[in-house]
A and B are shown apart, each in its own frame.
Chain A
Amino acid sequence: MHDKTLTQLAASLKSGEFSSRELTAHYLQKIEKADGKLNSFITVTGEQALKQAEAADNARAAGDKGLLTGIPLALKDIFCTRDVKTSCGSKMLDNFIAPYDATVVEKLNAAGTISLGKTNMDEFAMGSSNENSHYGPVKNPWDLNAVPGGSSGGSAAAVAAGLVPAAMGTDTGGSIRQPAAFCGITGLKPTYGRVSRYGMIAYASSLDQAGPMARSAEDCAHLMNVIAGHDVRDSTSVARGVPDYTETLNAPLSGLKIGLPKEYFGDGLDPEVESAVREAVKVYESLGATVREVSLPHTHYAIPAYYVIAPAEASSNLSRFDGVRFGHRCKDPVDLIDLYKRSRAEGFGEEVKRRILIGTHTLSEGFFDAYYTKAQKVRRLIRQDFLDAFEDVDVLMGPASPTPAFDLGAKKDPVSMYLQDIYTIAVNLAGIPGISVPAGLAGGRPVGLQILGTHFAEAQLLNVAHQYQQATDWHLQLPAFAEEHA
């Protein structure tokens, strides 16, 4: 079962080949057996999952035709779940149980899916390697010495290892696409506003976006059909019709205009990653697409702009973790200031503190215009770069990350870690959608091809990715770990 895509599993559930209970028990068993080595889950909700699975089987027997009814999934531990701990990878929320479900969770529940548990992540989604988790790092199933990427590293590793057919992630600067690339799975970051952020613990509100991580673009399309759409509880979600993302998967690509941003093929790009990406582009040419070079001239400002805007928002978003109402509270505070200082000092990890400090500084009187206002201007230029490019081409392609997964502990200084996101971060600043699809191996570790489209072009991205996956089988390759723990 573990080598089947979500789409295939859905067909099997429909045909009665096995029940949701059997399927769910199978995955729970795999998690039990293998996750000690990966550490991809923070919380496994086995009992609840089996109950949900039985309910799904009963529903199906009673005529429920829901395509995803009975499909097991995992949720990044950033999505609030009623009655199940939501830690956000932080000691701060190790004791936090939300009294509500995130909108994404509500929609997935309504679609009949089963939640196997909550996946590991960089604390408050801040990181690119999953080494910033209070619950310890996650290992990459392709190589246990390698990181799975971050911040949705637990979701990526769990899907790659076959512990769950698909998982939900979130992406603020690459946190779906980069781990998807590192773990050899397909991950879609939708347009900002396409998926509700309600109940998703905020890191940087103007950049955060939830999306599916699965084995194939087709799987992602099915999940997008469930989670996309306007939500009255999220004012930044967009009231715009949601297409059936599976409907256009098979549209032919002849005449597709692909742009290769020259800035995405420059210094720092691993040669093996580059050749894998160029091979993938050739596949597209063989499918009838035309390719040209384009320029996104402000690309090199993306990381600095991001590291002003995201920490600024984070410094404010994370103020609510003050030890007063929920979350970690220090022992025996002598007064309010002591309560704040020690609760936050004890509850937050190093990277979170660093970003809170950066953000607090950039918003301070006397610095605000030089940093924040300037960064917002840069953000508009970056967005304009993309809009200009999409005047000439339909999609952009490039690597999701400059290197394949690096070794655990390899990136010691924060800036070299930040540079990991050089190809993904501008996408969040512009608010456009992006998808990473497996496109080969470099040094035995997966390479992700990133495909970008204009705002609300998710259907097109899924179509373009799916056609590639019809022509290649990189996405079907499993790490040896998955076979060993089958």
Chain B
Amino acid sequence: MQWETVIGLEVHVQLATRSKIFSGASTAFGAEPNTQACAVDLGLPGTLPVLNEQAVAMAVQFGLAVHSDIAEVSVFDRKNYFYADLPKGYQTSQMYHPIVGPGAVDITLEDGTSKRIRIHHAHLEEDAGKSLHEDFMGMTGIDLNRAGTPLLEIVSEPDMRSAKEAAAYLKAIHSIVTYLGISDGNMAEGSMRCDVNVSVRPQGQEAFGTRAEIKNVNSFRFVERAIAFEVERQIELIEDGGSVVQETRLFDPERDETRSMRTKEEANDYRYFPCPDLLPVVLDEAYLDHLRGQLPELPADKRERFQNELGLSAYDASVLSASREMAEFFEEVHHVCGDAKQAANWVQGELAGALNRENLSITNSPISARQLGELVSRVVDDTINGKAAKQVFQALWNGQGENADEIIDAKGLKQVTDTGAIEAMIDQVIAESPAQVAQYRDAEPDKRGKMIGYFVGQVMKASRGTANPQQVNGVLKAKLDALV
């Protein structure tokens, strides 16, 4: 039988507010345990939550970016359950009236086609603390620094049909939230976490199969691996005559498998009810307009502009707009050198290659966008040729100079365009290569084009790479042909 995979994602995005969603404590990552938990975060008796306006603004910005309906009135609810790192015994969330209503994002698939994934809703909630099970000799330590950090939980419709689509969707969300600057999107630090709902159904069947929710899928790679494993598990189970049970499963990246955490029967009854300590959030059109006016250019718009206004290929536009950092880097290079195509080639070619080799992200690039832009502009204005440019790039990468011009001067890489000088070099090379000249002369005319490469190489070598290759080519051809 042919099976179809159905996937929906719940993405938790930590919002980049300076203080927590309901208290004034800092949200900075990595502080000593429990140094960033105030009386409110500890759930001390008598304390009350006060909503962080910035978190609301960020949620709304996300909603506007994915063309959602923003709720005029949204309400915080309490999700009641006991856990050691949940100080109040409930998580303040939005169950019945979320702030962000239905919307959609378009994802680009590997074959270049795009697909629309609908967003069911997104709601604001507070994060819990962390339970630390190591280093306490069989006991558990509680760190409440994270407790109260604002989260935006983005719930998709079950619109994805493959692990690749799910990963592309997650990347699209990542790109939107980082473009908006509402999250640092750092998955390693848990700024973005993902639960995956997976089910399978026979190809052509309309009704959904029973789904499993996989928790703790916290990287783009894990999303694909967890889904791949889970789909295989479910199909095998059904084909062996069994059936999938609705349950929560945990992805174990070390063993590359998912394991059952709890079944539906064991699920908590969270006893949601409206939080009486918080007023409903009422947003008016003027507020939405204000935020709409502040929206930056989003990835989809940028991609389109790169294509239409800068004349980049669809592929280049898509790669260069994928992340805010990449786009900003490219735009700065372009701004400095003035040539979009060259800027795109350098960012995606030499720079991306070097970053890859050293496993660096673009934000950690040893070469700044300005430095690369200056380098590229020297290529554009013919000050140096491509070969020399690569040398300059390497020197900049290694920190051997402040800027391209300095290195060009120091290494004497300035391109030689003086026809007299080039002719002299060519004459010398021809004089020193009688055998090759003879071969050239005796060859069939249509083979000669290839043979000219040897002479070009010799001339370039003689010029230490500084001769203008096009000029060398032209003059050489004329001189050799004159000898025929």
Contact = CB atoms under 8 A, between A and B. Distances in A.
A binds B: yes
Interface of A: 79-80, 86, 88, 93, 96, 98-100, 102, 197-202, 204-206, 232-236, 312-313, 315-316, 318-322, 324-326, 336, 340, 360, 363-365, 368, 372
A320 B48 contact: no
Contacts of A197: 46, 48
Nearest to A335: B140
B271 A93 contact: no
Contacts of A319: 80, 82, 88-90
B49 interface: yes
B451 interface: no
A205 B279 CA distance: 12
A320 B48 CA distance: 13
B82 A233 contact: no
Given A235-B277, A322-B89, A86 B45 contact: yes
Report the contact-size class of chain B (Cβ under 8 Å from the partner).
Answer: 20 to 34
A95 to B, nearest CB: 12
A308 to B, nearest CB: 11
B89 A96 contact: no
4 closest pairs, A vs B, by CB? A319-B89, A363-B271, A205-B276, A206-B276
A365 B269 contact: yes
A320 B147 CA distance: 14
B82 A322 contact: yes
Interface in B99-135: none
B277 A236 contact: yes
A100 B80 contact: no
Nearest to A359: B271
A320 B46 contact: no
Contacts of B45: 80, 86, 88, 93, 96, 98, 201-202, 320-321, 326
Given A316-B80, A363-B273, A198 B89 contact: no
Given A205-B276, A233-B50, A372-B273, A320 B84 contact: no
B273 A205 contact: no
Given A325-B42, A364-B271, A235 B47 contact: no
Contacts of B89: 316, 318-320, 322
B48 A198 contact: yes
B144 to A, nearest CB: 8
Contact of A235 (B50, B78, B88, B272): B50
B481 to A, nearest CB: 87
A198 B43 contact: no
Given A235-B49, A364-B269, A368-B273, A324 B80 contact: no
Given A205-B276, A319-B88, A368-B272, 13 more contacts: A88-B45, A100-B39, A197-B46, A197-B48, A199-B47, A200-B46, A233-B50, A319-B82, A322-B89, A324-B84, A325-B142, A364-B269, A364-B271
A80 B44 CA distance: 10
B51 interface: yes
B90 to A, nearest CB: 5
Contacts of A365: 269, 271
Contact of B44 (A98, A233, A322, A324): A98
Contact of A233 (B43, B48, B80, B140): B48
B277 A320 contact: no
Contacts of B340: none
A368 B50 CA distance: 26
B63 interface: no
A101 B273 CA distance: 29
A80 B271 contact: no
A200 B142 CA distance: 26
Contacts of B46: 79-80, 86, 98, 100, 102, 197-202
A235 B51 contact: yes
A313 B276 contact: yes
B64 interface: no
B462 interface: no
B185 interface: no
A156 B140 CA distance: 45
B148 interface: no
B197 to A, nearest CB: 20
Contacts of A235: 48-51, 277-279
Given A320-B45, A326-B44, A205 B277 contact: yes
Contacts of B47: 198-199
B84 A312 contact: no
Interface in B317-340: none
23 contacts: A79-B46, A86-B45, A100-B39, A197-B46, A200-B46, A205-B277, A232-B50, A234-B48, A235-B49, A236-B276, A316-B90, A316-B271, A319-B89, A325-B142, A326-B42, A336-B83, A360-B271, A363-B80, A363-B271, A365-B269, A368-B271, A368-B272, A372-B273
A321 B46 CA distance: 12
Contacts of B87: 320, 324-325
